[in-house]
Amino acid sequence: MRIHDNILGTIGNTPVVKINRLGPASVNLFVKIESFNPMASVKDRLALGIIEDAEKSGTLKPGQTVIEATSGNTGIGLAMVCAQKGYPLVVTMAESFSVERRKLMRFLGARVVLTPAPLKGSGMVKKAQELAAQHDWFLTRQFENESNADMHSRTTAPEILEAFDGISLDYWVTGYGTGGTLKGVARVLKDKSPSTRIIVCEPEIAPLLTDGIEQKRNDDGSPAESHPSFSPHPMQGWTPDFIPKLTGDAMADENADQILTVANPNAMEASRNLAQQEGIFVGISGGATFAAGLEVAESAAEGSNILCMLPDTGERYLSTPLFEGVETEMSEAEQQLSASTPSCQF
């Protein structure tokens, strides 16, 4: 086992794990578990990629404040990277996202500026742009920064190809948040594994890609307004209220073979089933991606290999509906078990 110079060396090389108890027996289901990154999400990759590319280009100056709009996981990843490298960090985040995320970012030393929930994701993006311009801070622009997608082309995609070396990868299933994973991995798979079908999934109540309505953008590629097909959904980090430029690029390059929508209850059920039947602990977005993978599995040819991206950990969702019904006090059955055992005598 190697010794790392610092925590940033532990980013990436996340495991691919076979699913054994869920899905039809006629196909092989696999998941890539991004919670094995040090801050427990896929966004650790983009945080490191964007910051180090900016350092190399001179865009980010020593000691300069970094700022980003985030639903939480990118901010947490950036907070780790900035803490290790010595950059102050400010994040803007819609107040509707889970409190666990803002606490984690503040614990890591970041300042968190909340934006009104009715303004959705585009509201936090505009606030970050305003603060960056006002204070001359470095805006990471995760939704349109090519360093985001490049990091996945350099790390995530080769890891997938290595895992399936010698066997076919028939389907790769992913959601989209920034679009970095989608664009960065899909273009490599199209080149190196052209038989792999790329399945992009999104919330049933926010079918931005499915509806095919063109997103209005500013000159810099950022969203000009909320997408008309967007409705608030619980899959945090999975589909903001606009189509990110990186996502739009991937779709324009025909790097997706199919779009699937996922209903909220199916995402919740898949997350719980992964935990209780496979011991794999993921959030709502991971459950949503796996639910789409299960749909693919129903019609896939016998012996097909399907890989689903699981972007983060379930611990980011303790205050969300995913954990409704999970109590902290003993249930009636647990109380009966407690009462049936004689108390220890001291």
Q: Does the domain made of 7-36+156-323 have the CATH classification 3.90.1170.50? A: no
Instruction: State the amino acid at position 78 in one-letter form.
Output: L
> Worst-scoring range by mean pLDDT, 143-147, 281-285, 337-341?
337-341
The catalytically annotated residue of 43, 120, 183, 245 is 43
**% of the chain with per-residue pLDDT over 70:** 97
CA distances from 342 to 329, 332, 335, 338 (A): 20, 18, 13, 8
Name the band, by pLDDT with cuts 50, 70 and 90, for residue 217. confident
pLDDT the model gives residue 235:
84
User: Is residue 111 exposed (0-12), middle (13-18) or buried (19+ Cβ within 10 Å)?
Assistant: middle
What one-character-per-residue DSSP string does 186-252 give? HHHHHHH-TTPEEEEEEETT--HHHHTPPPPB-TTS-BSS--TT----S-TTS--SS--HHHHHHHH
pLDDT tops 50 at residue 287: yes
The pair phi, psi for residue 263, each rounded to 5°, is -80, 145
pLDDT tops 80 at residue 337: yes
User: Whose CA is closest to 201, among 320, 286, 268, 306?
Assistant: 286
> Worst-scoring range by mean pLDDT, 50-54, 97-101, 205-209?
97-101
CA dihedral 22→25→31→35, nearest 10 degrees, is 30
The catalytically annotated residue of 41, 153, 285, 304 is 285
Name the band, by pLDDT with cuts 50, 70 and 90, for residue 221. low
Question: What pTM was computed for the model?
Answer: 0.91
| Helix then strand then coil, % of the chain, to nearest 5 | 45, 15, 40
Name the band, by pLDDT with cuts 50, 70 and 90, for residue 71. confident
Instruction: State the amino acid at position 333 in one-letter form.
Output: A
Q: pLDDT tens digit string along 115-133?
A: 998 988 889 999 999 999 9
Name the band, by pLDDT with cuts 50, 70 and 90, for residue 346. very low
Name the band, by pLDDT with cuts 50, 70 and 90, for residue 343. low
Give dist(CA 284, CA 343) in Å, integer: 40
Three-class DSSP category at 64: coil
Q: What is the mean pLDDT of the chain?
A: 93
User: Whose CA is closest to 200, among 149, 240, 161, 239?
Assistant: 239
* Domain residue limits, the chain: 7-36+156-323, 43-139
Three-class DSSP category at 180: helix
Q: pLDDT tens digit string along 250-281?
A: 999 888 999 999 999 999 999 999 999 999 99
7-36+156-323 and 43-139: same fold?
Answer: yes
CB 179 within 8 A of CB 250: yes
pLDDT the model gives residue 204:
94
Which tokens belong to 296?
């693919």
Q: Report the relative pairing of strands 28-33 and 16-18 from DSSP bridges.
A: antiparallel
pLDDT the model gives residue 344:
53
pLDDT the model gives residue 285:
92
pLDDT tops 50 at residue 305: yes
Q: Report the relative pairing of strands 138-139 and 66-69 from DSSP bridges.
A: parallel
- Label residues 5-28 b or e (16+ Cβ within 10 Å = b): eeebeebbebeebebeebbeeebb
CB 120 within 8 A of CB 240: yes
Contacts of 338 by beta carbon, 8 Å cutoff, 6+ apart: 330
Residue 285 a catalytic site member: yes
DSSP class of 345: P
CATH class belonging to 43-139:
alpha beta
pLDDT tops 60 at residue 345: no
CB 91 within 8 A of CB 70: yes
Q: Report the relative pairing of strands 111-115 and 16-18 from DSSP bridges.
A: unpaired
Q: pLDDT tens digit string along 9-39?
A: 999 999 999 999 999 999 999 999 999 999 9
